[in-house]
A and B are shown apart, each in its own frame.
Chain A
Amino acid sequence: MLKRLLLLPSLAAALLTTACTEAPKEAVKLPIMGERDVRPRADGGPADTVFATVPAFRLTDQFGQVLTNKSFAGRAYVADFFFATCPGICPKMQAEMLKVYKKFGQQQRLAFLSHTIDPAHDSIPVLRDYAERLGVGTARNWHFATTGAHGEPTARDTVFQLAQAYFTAALPDKQAPGGFAHNGTFALVDDQGHVRGLYDSLNPKEVDRLLVELPVLLAEIDSRKPGLARQ
């Protein structure tokens, strides 16, 4: 009897370890942020759940390259909002993004997208100069992008709306350093345009969490492409 009792913990341990080694493939999945919509199907089958996605956008990056949602199809990207002359939180925020870039910049299935919220000032040459000064002048997968490459009068409103879709607050504020108030959120977006993680770049623990969660998302993307996963 006593012997059997002694066996129990080892049995439990064996079960637990298998659970730990096998479960994560399904269990560890990042959540999908935002409202979801449940749509009944016409044929009476189980209703479809429609998850929020980033709305359609059209941007131009520091190389003059046009970027739309399709430019990131099949890839994840990390998005943030900044402006080149920002004396407030931007240097800290972009220094943190640089850390993430240094660790994951070589990943084929990942891009970086920094939107300027001051399109009137941050022209394409200004954005290129900014990238060079940050030390990523030759990086092709870190885009410093504007909604106002052609002087569109609505450029600022467009980028503010876009910021909302990435759960980032950005608005003009005369009291704020540099004339804009915004927060330093990093949004992790998956290959299908769903926001899968939000991280406050001013908090080192949050940036650490991004570093842990990024590979989880990349693995999920790989699992969707079984033919490519082994490369």
Chain B
Amino acid sequence: MRGAIARPASALGAALALLAALLQQSCFSNNRHQGEKLYSQHCAGCHGEQGQGLGRLIPPLAGADYLVDHRAELPCLLRYGQKEVIVVNGVAYHNVMPGEKGLSPAQLTNLLNFIETHWGNSASPRTIREVEQQLEACRGR
């Protein structure tokens, strides 16, 4: 008798789990697409479709030590750009990078998550909350 009741319940459970998985997947894939889209709109022109950079003019993002070493500073760097000499993988670059002041914390999060998990990069994902906190460092700039 017990078995007979358990079976429909487990079927319902499986259906719910499947539905949840589907929903979750669609949410995540949308987010992932936003990061990729933002990258190709705002970054790929200079840093390249594969994050390869350009000679010693534009630093690479693929396998860039700077992304790991300066992780917490990246939201501010994206928002306000940077004018200083920047050393990436031992090479100094002196081109100016314009800021992207129009990007929201959520967009910055998706963009960084895209960059940090592609072309051999494998940082742990950021949350929007984390990015908001990191943006405090450059508030009012």
By a beta-carbon cutoff of 8 Å, the part of chain A in contact with chain B is 85, 87-89, 91-92, 94-95, 98, 130, 132-135, 177-178
Contacts of B96 in A (CB 8 A): 85, 87, 178
Q: Besides A91-B45, A133-B56, A135-B56, 4 other CB < 8 A contacts?
A: A88-B45, A91-B46, A95-B48, A134-B55
Interface residues of B in 86-103 (CB under 8 A from A): 95-98
The 6 closest A-B CB pairs, nearest first, are A133-B56, A135-B55, A91-B46, A92-B45, A134-B55, A133-B57
How far is B93's CA from A87's CA once the two chains are assembled, in angstroms?
13
* Other-chain residue from A89, A95, A177 in contact with B54 (beta carbon distance below 8 A): A95
- B74 contacts the other chain (Cβ, under 8 Å)? no
A94 touches B54 (CB 8 A): yes
A-B contact pairs, 26 of them (CB 8 A): A85-B95, A85-B96, A87-B97, A87-B98, A88-B45, A89-B45, A91-B45, A91-B46, A91-B54, A91-B57, A92-B45, A92-B46, A94-B57, A95-B48, A95-B54, A98-B54, A98-B55, A130-B57, A132-B56, A133-B56, A133-B57, A134-B54, A134-B55, A134-B56, A177-B98, A178-B96
B95 touches A87 (CB 8 A): yes
Contacts of A177 in B (CB 8 A): 98
Contacts of B64 in A (CB 8 A): none
By a beta-carbon cutoff of 8 Å, the part of chain B in contact with chain A is 44-46, 48, 54-58, 95-98
Contacts of B45 in A (CB 8 A): 88-89, 91-92
Shortest CB distance A161–B (Å): 27
Q: With A87-B95, A87-B96, A177-B98 in contact, is A134–B46 under 8 Å at CB?
A: no
How far is B128's CA from A220's CA once the two chains are assembled, in angstroms?
59
A91 touches B58 (CB 8 A): yes
Contacts of B56 in A (CB 8 A): 132-135
How far is B98's CA from A177's CA once the two chains are assembled, in angstroms?
8
Shortest CB distance A91–B (Å): 4
How far is B97's CA from A178's CA once the two chains are assembled, in angstroms?
10
Shortest CB distance B122–A (Å): 26
How far is B44's CA from A104's CA once the two chains are assembled, in angstroms?
25
Contacts of A87 in B (CB 8 A): 46, 95-98
Shortest CB distance B103–A (Å): 16
Contacts of B97 in A (CB 8 A): 87
Across the two chains, which residue of chain A brings its CB closest to B46? Answer: A91
* Other-chain residue from A88, A89, A134, A178 in contact with B57 (beta carbon distance below 8 A): A134
Contacts of B46 in A (CB 8 A): 87, 91-92
Across the two chains, which residue of chain A brings its CB closest to B56? Answer: A133
Contacts of A85 in B (CB 8 A): 95-96
Question: Which among A87, A89, A98, A135 has the highest number of chain B CB atoms within 10 Å?
Answer: A87
Shortest CB distance A89–B (Å): 6
Shortest CB distance B46–A (Å): 4
